[in-house]
Structure 1
């Protein structure tokens, strides 16, 4: 196996991951309800997001949390997303960028879960 090194690697990761997500019993319905028939646009945004982070090629602009802010999701959803992502990365890649992808996913899962919990307390 090789590391995540190119935009084609990013696309392979993102496409494989979201194929799994769409069929997943816990988070699939959330994604399919929100994304609906706009999967190509969502995937393109995710390519740019991970390209910016892992390849240091700034192509994503935006704030990742706001689209998730009003969803009825909990820490278990974020934890499950992280597990699926980590499994996908580990099945496809090995190396510095693969490790960084997993690290960033875990950070996002924890941060988004904490933000959701904070918003519920208000």
Structure 2
């Protein structure tokens, strides 16, 4: 029997989202080619930062998780070889993971945030938004 979908985000469910999503990223040839060389063997630290980021975004600092400290835009702007296809794949994987773990309204809310992040980064890389959302 499939586990029940989460009706609302909490620190534990966001931790699971981040860990499952980045496991998919690491297995994906397109995304692993960009993120693997940059993150190297430091995935544990990256996951801690990403859990803090998503907890801050979705729950606020009162969530009990360590606050996010970092520069999402600046870190990503140093990546080389990023194309619109990377954003498409990232959004597709994120959407699939969110929908696998959360009820539709929460998954939709998570995707709104993910699409905003993707749009901001695309402006930095391409000067415009090339990919607006998941392909399906």
Same fold by TM-score greater than 0.5: yes
1:113 match = 122
2:29 match = 25
SS of structure 1 residue aligned to 2:30: coil
SS of structure 2 residue aligned to 1:61: coil
TM-score, length-scaled by structure 1: 0.88
For structure 1, which runs of at least 5 residues remain unmatched after alignment? none
For structure 2, which runs of at least 5 residues remain unmatched after alignment? 128-136
1:89 match = 98
Q: Distance in 1 between matches of 2:114 and 2:33?
A: 20
The 10-residue stretch of structure 1 (59-68 or 14-23) with the greater mean CA deviation from structure 2: 59-68
Count of residue pairs the alignment pairs up: 118
Which structure is higher in RCO with an 8 Å CA cutoff and minimum separation 6? 1
Q: Distance in 2 between matches of 1:90 and 1:97?
A: 9
Question: Is 2:49–2:69's contact at 8 Å kept on the other side of the alignment?
Answer: no
TM-score, length-scaled by structure 2: 0.80
State the Cα deviation string for residues 81-113 of structure 1 (Å, max 9, x = none).
011101100011115443221111011112211
